[in-house]
Structure 1
Amino acid sequence: MPLNVLETRLLAFVGDLVRQPDAARRDEMDCQCGQPLPPRGVEGVARFNAGEYYAQHDLFEAQWVAEPGPVRDLYRAILQVGVAYYHVTRGNDRGALKMLRRSVQWFADLPDVCQGVDVRQLREDAARVRAALEGGDPAALDRARLPGVRLVDSGG
């Protein structure tokens, strides 16, 4: 088989796997991000910020499953960061890194503020925790004081 045919097939296959937001999805995301955080999400943030990472996971997972629109990425990103923090508090740095690396894809299409959640800050906090774990210096990470989810005015 000629290389250009193989390349074409490979690129098509990879293209099917890569998340590529289109204009309609971005518009729907913007609209949904302008809405308030649902009550289950508000409770999930409260649990996350209280260090109840297992409980926040259940709340955000239920919200994620119930939401068919693109804003579900917000719920999935938060729950995965929370699961990572759960692993951090248990000394499972490998599990934490896996979840933090996985969460990056869910943050990718989110604006800086979505449903009142300061996504930019959460994204940066998760990146700092990930960098501390990847740096091989677990002492650089205060496991008892992991960053929370910050809520802000949805209007920016």
Structure 2
Amino acid sequence: MKVNLKNGVDKLVFGMKQDDVVALYGKADKSFKDEDDNVVLLYNAQKLRLTFYVEEDLKLGYIVGSSEDLEVLDIKVIGRSVADVKKDFASKGLTKWTEEGFDTFENSFNEENWMILQGEFGDVIKLEVGAVFNDKDEFDWKFKK
């Protein structure tokens, strides 16, 4: 599954509504509201968690994935060492990371692409990508119907 930085994952595009996603992947395996009342859909087969922001008219704004099929810039990320993934990204010009650790987890955040590599025990276990902001500090929705 290709991660299209600043745009989405696979056929998913930031700014889609739930109906658009259901048309692509079918009914979610689970849905719930998070602590901010955002709607979250889980797709087990794709190993994706999709968040639709309530304050943005329930547009798809955040995607969390843990499938070993996820590729960023043609680089597989899940299940590989964080250091190796970041070295591969550096060869493609992606070098700015903010590091944060808690418990057994370590997050590497790239603000330019709104991407987080979550690692545990040195390996990437989860990839998170979100919609980016424009010059007016508003979401830059990519989905156009």
TM-score, normalised relative to structure 2: 0.24
Higher radius of gyration, 1 or 2: 1
Q: 1 or 2, which has the higher helix percentage?
A: 1
